[in-house]
Structure 1
Amino acid sequence: MSRRCELTGKGPMSGNNVSHAKNRTRRRFLPNLNEVSLMSEALGRTFSLKISAAALRTVDHRGGLDAYMAKAKDIELSAGALKIKKEIAKALAAA
């Protein structure tokens, strides 16, 4: 499984370790990923996602998984998250 946020698409970045003597060696900056379970009120069930801490704050700020998915861009979402978004949209349209 890749080190990529399923909601925002954040992934590893590269940069340099810089020593006191200014020697530079390549390194990777990994995103702060957490395995969380988010509840969808429209579907009445939870989904387990691997998302960044920043994405978790954004989901909370927007008012939950349903509200986040309504505004999320399809290109940033993973295949699993895109499937969840379509299920939520279908449930909200039926209600």
Structure 2
Amino acid sequence: MSRICELTGKGRQVGHNVSHANNKTKRVFLPNLQNVTLLSEKLDRSFKFRVSTQGLRSVEHNGGLDNWLLKTSDEKLSAGALKVKRELKKAMAAA
């Protein structure tokens, strides 16, 4: 399973460990991913996602999962999140 946030698309970054003698060795910075269950108010369902903690804070700041999915571009979302977004658009069009 890749270490990519399903809602923000945030993935690993590469950089260097730098010693006191300024020796540089490659290292990897991994996002802090958590398995969370987010509730969709419009669909009255909960969905499980693997989300970075920063992404989780962003979702809550933007008014919940529904608003976040509608505002976010499709390129950043995972396949599961895209499926939820399509369901959400279909439910909003029917209402």
Bin for the TM-score computed over the shorter chain: over 0.9
TM-score by length of 1: 0.96
* Letter of the 1:60 counterpart: E
How far apart, CA to CA, are the structure 1 residues paired with 2:53 and 2:83? Answer: 22
Q: Deviations over 1:3-58 (max 9, x none)?
A: 00001111000000011111111000001111110000111110000011111111
Could you tell me which residue of structure 1 aligns to residue 11 of structure 2? 11
Say yes or no: does 1:58 pair with 2:68.
no
* Letter of the 2:10 counterpart: K
The number of residue pairs the alignment matches comes to 95
How far apart, CA to CA, are the structure 2 residues paired with 1:93 and 1:66? Answer: 14
How far apart, CA to CA, are the structure 1 residues paired with 2:62 and 2:22? Answer: 43
Say yes or no: does 1:94 pair with 2:94.
yes
Could you tell me which residue of structure 1 aligns to residue 41 of structure 2? 41
Could you tell me which residue of structure 2 aligns to residue 80 of structure 1? 80
- Residue ranges of structure 2 left out of the alignment (5+ in a row): none
* Letter of the 1:51 counterpart: V
Runs of 4+ in 1 over 4 A off after TM superposition: none
TM-score by length of 2: 0.96
Q: CA RMSD in A?
A: 0.7
Identical aligned pairs, as a percentage?
A: 59
- Residue ranges of structure 1 left out of the alignment (5+ in a row): none
